[in-house]
Amino acid sequence: LYFCFPQMSANDCQDPPEYWTIHGLWPDKTEECNRTWHFNVTEIKDLLSDMRHYWPDVLHSSLNRTQFWKHEWEKHGTCAATLPILNSQKKYFGKALELYQHVDLNSCLLKAGIKPSSSYYQMTVIKEALTRFYGVTPKIQCLPPEKGEKAQTIGQIEFCFTKELQLRNCTALKGESDPMQADLKLGTEELSVCSDTLPTYYPSQVQ
């Protein structure tokens, strides 16, 4: 689930949504499993209204908004499809939308009193609120402070699931690489796991 930032170039982030949207549904440690299984938008035509709303391409202001979904399917969906519950394009995108609705991050943060603001939050306060609400620890990624600034900016909140698609803690096992590190590049900046000690900005104007 991720945001769109002013730091991006002027052509990006057109009419961004003012709510958390989907980035993707990613199986661990696998990429581009079946290069011959190409994305076909007609297979998800029943989902398009929800896809445009909850899974928009906020990074590219193109008329063809299917490019992002094509990328997610070919890089991650073809790997996720080894699970029967995700073994078609309609199942993969449909289940991701279901999980988004189930997690309901926008509502959770509001209930916890965590709202976009011009003042800063402590990262530990945000983490504790999420853990209390979900019973598991998500992974929060931030844009590091810009030169001369002291605060990091929340960019992405990652929830982890078992193969049965039940929420679990996002804790990497010893020696396990992090497949999502730097998966989202914002302009020249890369997201990284948020620091617990830096003040944290949750921007009120996402543009």
pLDDT at 53: 92
Q: Which residue has the tokens 């999980």?
A: 99
- What is the per-residue pLDDT across 96-136, written as a single tens digit (0 to 9) for each? 999 999 999 999 999 999 998 888 999 999 999 999 999 99
Are the CB atoms for 97 and 22 separated by under 8 Å?
yes
CATH of 41-201, one of 3.90.730.10, 3.40.50.620, 3.90.170.10, 3.40.50.1820: 3.90.730.10
The CA-based dihedral angle spanning residues 41, 45, 47, 51, taken in that order and rounded to the nearest 10 degrees: 50
- What is the per-residue pLDDT across 146-161, written as a single tens digit (0 to 9) for each? 888 899 999 899 999 9
What residue ranges in the chain does DSSP mark as E strands? 121-122, 139-143, 152-158, 160-161, 167-168, 185-186, 189-190, 192-193, 199-201
pLDDT at 118: 84
Q: What is the DSSP string of 16-53?
A: --SS-B------TT---S-TTS---GGGGGGGHHHHHH
SS3 state of residue 2 = strand
- What is the per-residue pLDDT across 53-94, written as a single tens digit (0 to 9) for each? 999 887 765 556 799 999 999 999 999 999 999 999 999 999
Q: Classify residue 184 by its DSSP letter.
A: S
Q: What proportions of the chain, in percent to the nearest 5, are helix, strand and coil?
A: 30, 15, 55
Cα–Cα distances (Å) from 3 to 40, 76, 205, in that order, read 26, 20, 10
Rounded to an integer, the average pLDDT of 16-38 is 87
pLDDT at 147: 87
Please tell me the distance from the alpha carbon of residue 134 to that of residue 167, in angstroms, as a whole number. Answer: 8
pLDDT at 154: 93
- What is the per-residue pLDDT across 36-47, written as a single tens digit (0 to 9) for each? 999 999 999 999
pLDDT at 146: 85
Catalytic residue list: 23, 72, 76
Task: Indicate the pTM of the whole model.
Answer: 0.85
User: Confidence class of residue 181 from pLDDT cuts 50, 70 and 90?
Assistant: very low
